[in-house]
């Protein structure tokens, strides 16, 4: 068997999830090897999730920077109050 291929008697997690969701879908897709008719919608969903992942990757460092700025501001306010009240 070539590297990267699984034996035909193994069942993937996706196949199990597909069967649990709809046995008829599993029969058509895996048993009869009929591709899903909603390929365009599936590709649109993939693009949508890729965009969301990109936004998340960009936003996470900005949120972290914002937290550091807030923490520095609070420390600055506490230091100023300490100087004024001593």
**39-54 pLDDT tens trace:** 999 999 999 999 999 9
Residues in the chain: 86
In the chain (86 residues long), the average pLDDT of successive 10-residue segments reads 64 92 93 90 94 93 96 97 92
* 31: nearest Cα among 40, 44, 22, 39: 22
Please tell me the distance from the alpha carbon of residue 41 to that of residue 47, in angstroms, as a whole number: 10
Residues 57-74, buried b or exposed e (16+ Cβ, 10 A)?
eeeeeeeeeeeeeeeeee
pTM of the model: 0.48
Q: Which two tokens stand for residue 32?
A: 């009869």
Domain extents for the chain? 9-37
């Amino acid at each position: 068997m070539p590297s990267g291929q699984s034996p035909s008697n193994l069942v993937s997690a996706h196949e199990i999830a597909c069967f649990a969701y709809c046995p008829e879908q599993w029969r058509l897709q895996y048993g009869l090897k009929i591709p899903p008719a909603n390929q365009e919608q599936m590709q649109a969903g993939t693009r949508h999730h890729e965009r969301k992942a990109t936004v998340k990757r960009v936003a996470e460092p900005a949120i972290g920077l914002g937290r550091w700025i807030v923490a520095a501001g609070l420390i600055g306010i506490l230091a100023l109050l300490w100087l004024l009240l001593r």
